[in-house]
Structure 1
């Protein structure tokens, strides 16, 4: 028997599939929260690894600027720190897409969670006899502010490395002209 698929049948099939997948709205909420926690942990790990790499690069930059070898120290302190600054800029630019991807995924799961809390009156008010969220905690503004450090860090380091490279080149060229 041929079946005509209408919008209503499609929505009914999706609702049936959701029930089979999640069971209850609480299961769905728990799933969303686990996904948010997982992606937040990934973003945190990426940020920690990035900051660790940048800190070692800054230490190497400062050490190479302190080279006092009379024979080749001037050339060394012009070339090596400049290359490290370029490496810092490239690593920052390559870290950005990973941070951005995590941010987008976290944003998606927060959207799904807030939609669930708003669409299901039982879930939105309380499922364990206490308020689940107040508006301040569940707003987009709240969690987005908490992610700004990770989102801004690569761009701050790009600016930092540009300033250090400029300083390095200026110092060496100013000393060479004297």
Structure 2
């Protein structure tokens, strides 16, 4: 496979390119903050849609377990609740990659933001003195705690559906 060899880009060319692209470190910080906000809203929308779907499945599961029809109720409660539990499990496993991808992108932009604040001493000082921002929010630990709910929810519901599916079958058979 042929390779294209290019010359190394000098530091001054990179600085000039960054200046043309962003203009200033403040513009770059604003760009990173907008990207973080955009990706966070995507993550929130995905989490909201996922939780709405899960809540409907939980309601359907509970309703199907309460079927008291004397002719076909027993067979219905033996077949439908495990199917709904399987659907909930598959939904959780399907939601995980999208939620994780949004989390990884947010992680990337926070990393870029923290690198900018470390590489631009004046920007870092202004950033730390500003009451709207703090060092805690630009560290990995700060924002990751805020995103844990969205990241953990699919795994919590996946476990919930596995347990609920087995429980639904067990109470019908036992």
- Structure 1 length-normalised TM: 0.90
Structure 1 CA distance for aligned equivalents of residues 166 and 115 of structure 2: 48
Structure 2 CA distance for aligned equivalents of residues 5 and 85 of structure 1: 57
What residue in structure 2 maps to residue 85 of structure 1? 85
Structure 1 CA distance for aligned equivalents of residues 132 and 10 of structure 2: 32
Matched ranges for 1:47-126 at <5 A: 47-126=47-126
Residue pair 1:92, 1:157 contacting (<8 A) in 2 also: yes
CA RMSD, Structure 1 to Structure 2 (Å): 1.7
Structure 2 CA distance for aligned equivalents of residues 117 and 166 of structure 1: 51
Higher Cα radius of gyration: 1
Where does the alignment leave 5 or more consecutive residues of structure 1 unmatched?
Answer: none
Deviation track 1:1-31 (CA, whole Å, cap 9, x = no partner) reads xxx934xx43332222211110000000000
Residue pair 1:136, 1:142 contacting (<8 A) in 2 also: yes
- Aligned in 2, Cα 1:165/1:130: closer, same or farther, shift over 3 Å? closer
Deviation track 1:102-160 (CA, whole Å, cap 9, x = no partner) reads 01000000000000011101110106973664332221100000000000000000010
Structure 2 CA distance for aligned equivalents of residues 12 and 77 of structure 1: 71
- Aligned in 2, Cα 1:158/1:129: closer, same or farther, shift over 3 Å? closer
Residue pair 1:82, 1:169 contacting (<8 A) in 2 also: yes
What residue in structure 2 maps to residue 37 of structure 1? 37
SS at match of 1:67: coil
Structure 2 CA distance for aligned equivalents of residues 33 and 21 of structure 1: 16
Structure 1 CA distance for aligned equivalents of residues 122 and 131 of structure 2: 11
How many equivalent residue pairs? 169
